[in-house]
Structure 1
Amino acid sequence: MNINLKLQLVTILPLIAALSAVLIVTQVEYQSLSEQTTNEYQRSVINHRKEELKNYIALAEGAINHVYQNPNLNEKQAQELVKQILNDMRFGEDGYYFAYKLDGTNLVLPNQQWRVGKNWMDMEDQNGVKIVKGLIDQAKQGGGYIQYVFNQPSKNGEVSKKLAYSTFLDKWQWMLGTGVYLDDIDQEVATLNTNISEHIQSTSIFTLVIGLFSIITIFITGLFIRFSERKLANKKLRQLNERIFQTQEEECKRVSRELHDGISQTIAAAKFSLETALLKQQKQMSAEQELERSMELISQIMGDIRSISHQLHPGVLEDYGLGAALEELARDFSNRTGIEVNVTRLSIRNILSPNVKTTLYRIAQEALTNVEKHANASKVNLTLKLTPGWLTLTIADNGKGFNHASYENSDNNEKRTEGIGLRNMKERLSFYYGELQVKSKETGTKVIAKIPQDQLRYVANNASETPSIGEQNV
């Protein structure tokens, strides 16, 4: 699993978890809100119905008051008239009045005349509520409410929830009451719950769609970034391969020039001296001078070959470490160019791997080559030191300097070619998470190569192996 996919998972999985948590919390909160809303709605409607019942009782009392308080009527006549008035009064679809004696005997109950004249004190609904007794008790206390289930006329006698209010007619010791059925409230609450559930569902779906859209967007963006990074990486790889091939080609050309212009010419001169010596010997003349000249040329050839070999891969780097190799590089550079090189190096053992040594050596070699070609300098300071967290190689000259930014960003092929050396340095350091800094002004140029200390330690290919003597030196 590559790092980009891991990053996508690290991004998407918490988002999925957060989305799930949001959906769960939303469901719980909406459910709680739904219960609170329906309960509050029920309380509000029931309180409103209670006020209505009081008003209905007040209407009934007003309707019978002229009879109830009439002194010209005897009690029996007045009671019969009141019964008739109450029996005829209606409100709404199922609204009516009822009256009972305090012993539970029914006096008025429209639509259920068969109950009139009978005692219903012990009558209970299907939930065990004693209806008449409860109404009488509330009336004795000055008026009150009771909730029960009772036959609903508009539903052909089907039982429904009912809220009743009763009051007391103390002159006749009657309980007067009325009630309203609550089936419409249940229907409204059910409709409200349905609407809330639909709203919860639509909100959850909307949240889920947004979450899925976000996840898909992140995934597609990740794919696009991965594709772009891969494309960029391939481009950089091609550029790196081109630079490697170009560097190899330049190195081959350099070696070819060294062989053709140096060693080849010297070999030709040595061959000519040997041929001259051979001719003199055939003529019995002294060939000592030509032989000595040939020996000198052969020694020069050996030195040139050793120099080329050293430039390709210095043996001193493996035998004595980076510090000694840098000193030899500086010495050869000074002898060849006449530019003074001062080397300040570490005396630390067993901290660098062979690859790190080679990297820093090549950077120093490339930097000195740039000094020779471009800097017009008379002095170079080469420093290898440990700083907090880093191993730092610094090559500083007192030359004319150059505009580093113009080489980095130039579209000019010549400048880009001249800047290959710096890019090669960066590429070499990038393998070890290193950094390259170039500081240049009119008084000179400073190249600083830094490698993190955690990338320095020598690691043997085999756990049983130990570093050789050469590898134990910086």
Structure 2
Amino acid sequence: MDLKHKILALTVLPLLLAMVAIGALVQHRSTQLAEQQVALIEENFLLTKRAELRHYVELALSSIEPLYASGRNDEATRAQAKAILRELNYGDDGYFFAYDTGGKNLVHPRQPELVGRTLWDLTDPQGRHVIRALLSSARDGDGYQRYSWQKPSTQQVTEKLGYVVLLPRWGWMLGTGIYLDDMERATAQVRERARHTVHSTLLGLGMVALVAVLLVFASGLALNVSEHRLADSKLKAMAQQIVQSQEDERARVSRELHDGISQLLVSIKFQFELAQHQLAQADPAASASMARGLERLGEAIGEVRQISHDLRPSILDTLGLSAAIEQLCQEFQRRTGIAVRVEQLDPALGLERHQGSAKAVALFRIAQEALTNIERHAQASEVRLSLVRQGNRVVLCLSDNGRGCPPSVWQTSPGIGLRNIRERVEHLAGDFEWQSTAGHTRLSVSLPLEREALL
């Protein structure tokens, strides 16, 4: 994955993670609020139903109160009380029931098949012992008990809230109950609304995330296109610079060949023609003419060597970078008269095994270019140079005491020399630093060593 894709991923992933976290938080909070609302509905509903159940049971007790208060315990009195209870109904599913303390059913208007049966071990679908729990609640509790029972109007087993009281003298448990399916429907509606709200919210967050991701991709695409255009323009400018540099170098070599080698060869030709003529005339001066011709021929050979050295110094391939830099400094001082002080020249740079490596050539060309810039523009009297190894890097530093150049000038419109140096350094993944003030200019280049050079 390249840098652009990494940046895009680092932009999109936190956004998506934030959306997921917000969605999870919204879902959690919505569920919590829904459950709190359900609990509140159940609490209010049950409070209302408890009061209603107590009122119903009090009505039933008042109906059989004359019989129970008479003090009679005979079967006829009890049968009369059972008949009254069977006739007491409210609503479609409201009725009264009675059990003895052993769990035997005495009254059940809606399920008469249960009358006379002992239901002590009867359990509901949740495993609760219904009659035991009702008797226990009547004796020790507040009389209220939740359980599941068949609803007469629908024949479906439904959650029910019962309320019972004891008639100790007869050994009866009298009670009634209200089915809670209305409450269950209300709470189910609350939960369904909460789920719908969460779904809508998550859908909205998903749409926002999608739009945001599309905007990020669109911005990245626009930036990518802009960078490609900028890179293309830079490549075109670089290509023009390279072509121009090649043309300048060809022009320089052409001038040196024309002004130097060509004139020397013409002069040598004339000198040897003169010597040939003098030999034909048996002129004693022929020997002197031949000697001058040979001298000129030696100068021509020297010119050829100098041009060859400027194009590619052979010492760089034979003795290495340090020796080539030292020779370059000596020739620069001899040619220009500018003093060159080599402060530090490390012979063990880690490039000796690769004398023709791109980094060795680059460092030599950078030093050559820097000295050329000093000669042309700096008006300096002294140059300081160091070439050292620092850890796994090679560092080349040059400084001079010339007139300097303001940063606003070289940063906005750097010359071809500085551009060449910067591009060489960037191509080799190195660091480039250039500082210039009046009386002091410093160039520093740091290149990483090859892995094999570190061994």
Which residue of structure 1 aligns with residue 347 of structure 2? 347
Deviation, 1:201, is 3.1
Q: Is the 8 A contact 1:395 1:446 kept in 2?
A: yes
1:145 aligns with 2:148: no
* Candidates 352, 355, 359, aligned match of 1:356: 359
Structure 1 residues 242-295: Cα deviation after superposition (integer angstroms, max 9, x where no partner): 211111111111111112222222223333333333444444432333333322
Query: Counterpart of 2:351 in structure 1: which amino acid?
Result: I
Q: Is the 8 A contact 1:143 1:168 kept in 2?
A: no
Which residue of structure 2 aligns with residue 290 of structure 1? 289
Q: Is the 8 A contact 1:87 1:97 kept in 2?
A: yes
* Candidates 219, 238, 241, aligned match of 2:239: 241
> How do 1:104-119 and structure 2 match up within 5 A?
118-119=115-116
What's the TM-score once normalised by structure 1's chain length?
0.77
Greater alpha carbon shift after TM alignment, 78-87 vs 360-369: 78-87
1: CA distance, partners of 2:132 / 2:387 = 107
Q: Is the 8 A contact 1:149 1:160 kept in 2?
A: yes
> How do 1:45-56 and structure 2 match up within 5 A?
47-48=46-47, 51-56=50-55
CA gap 1:420/1:2 in 2 versus in 1, 3 angstroms: same
CA gap 1:159/1:267 in 2 versus in 1, 3 angstroms: closer
Q: Is the 8 A contact 2:369 2:417 kept in 1?
A: yes
Structure 1 residues 102-132: Cα deviation after superposition (integer angstroms, max 9, x where no partner): 67777765567x679x534438576587766
What's the TM-score once normalised by structure 2's chain length?
0.80
* Candidates 420, 426, 438, aligned match of 1:424: 420
Deviation, 1:397, is 1.8
1: CA distance, partners of 2:293 / 2:306 = 20
Compare relative contact order (CA 8 Å, sep 6+) and give the higher one, 1 or 2.
1
Q: Is the 8 A contact 1:104 1:119 kept in 2?
A: no
Structure 1 residues 340-396: Cα deviation after superposition (integer angstroms, max 9, x where no partner): 222241122653542212111111111111111111222222221223553221222
Which residue of structure 2 aligns with residue 272 of structure 1? 270
Which residue of structure 1 aligns with residue 432 of structure 2? 436
2: CA distance, partners of 1:458 / 1:175 = 98
Identity, % of aligned pairs?
A: 32
Q: Is the 8 A contact 2:272 2:289 kept in 1?
A: yes
Q: Is the 8 A contact 2:321 2:364 kept in 1?
A: yes
2: CA distance, partners of 1:434 / 1:334 = 28
1: CA distance, partners of 2:367 / 2:341 = 13
Query: Counterpart of 2:446 in structure 1: which amino acid?
Result: K
CA gap 1:11/1:85 in 2 versus in 1, 3 angstroms: same
Paired residue secondary structure (2:94): coil
CA gap 1:291/1:40 in 2 versus in 1, 3 angstroms: same
1:405 aligns with 2:408: yes
CA gap 1:166/1:53 in 2 versus in 1, 3 angstroms: farther
Greater alpha carbon shift after TM alignment, 55-64 vs 357-366: 55-64
CA gap 1:161/1:376 in 2 versus in 1, 3 angstroms: closer
Unmatched tracts of structure 2, length 5 or more: none
2: CA distance, partners of 1:317 / 1:23 = 65
Query: Counterpart of 1:311 in structure 2: which amino acid?
Result: D
2: CA distance, partners of 1:375 / 1:134 = 107
> How do 1:29-428 and structure 2 match up within 5 A?
33=32, 40=39, 44=43, 47-48=46-47, 51-57=50-56, 59-60=58-59, 63-64=62-63, 67=66, 94-99=93-98, 118-122=115-119, 124=122, 127=125, 135-136=134-135, 138-141=137-140, 144-155=143-154, 159-170=157-168, 173-285=171-283, 286-344=285-343, 345-348=345-348, 350-352=350-352, 353=354, 354=356, 355-410=358-413, 419-428=415-424
Greater alpha carbon shift after TM alignment, 4-13 vs 312-321: 4-13
Query: Counterpart of 1:348 in structure 2: which amino acid?
Result: A
Q: Is the 8 A contact 1:125 1:150 kept in 2?
A: no
Q: Is the 8 A contact 1:326 1:343 kept in 2?
A: no
Structure 1 residues 141-196: Cα deviation after superposition (integer angstroms, max 9, x where no partner): 475234444453444x5553322111123455543312101222232233233233
Query: Counterpart of 1:336 in structure 2: which amino acid?
Result: R
Deviation, 1:78, is 9.1
Q: Is the 8 A contact 1:351 1:458 kept in 2?
A: no
Q: Is the 8 A contact 2:350 2:449 kept in 1?
A: no
Deviation, 1:204, is 3.9
Deviation, 1:306, is 1.0
CA gap 1:323/1:453 in 2 versus in 1, 3 angstroms: same
1: CA distance, partners of 2:450 / 2:70 = 115
2: CA distance, partners of 1:323 / 1:136 = 107
CA gap 1:151/1:264 in 2 versus in 1, 3 angstroms: closer
Q: Is the 8 A contact 1:101 1:107 kept in 2?
A: yes
Greater alpha carbon shift after TM alignment, 54-63 vs 81-90: 81-90
**Number of aligned residue pairs:** 448
1: CA distance, partners of 2:348 / 2:39 = 82
Q: Is the 8 A contact 1:164 1:180 kept in 2?
A: yes
2: CA distance, partners of 1:455 / 1:249 = 36
CA gap 1:109/1:327 in 2 versus in 1, 3 angstroms: closer
Deviation, 1:221, is 4.3
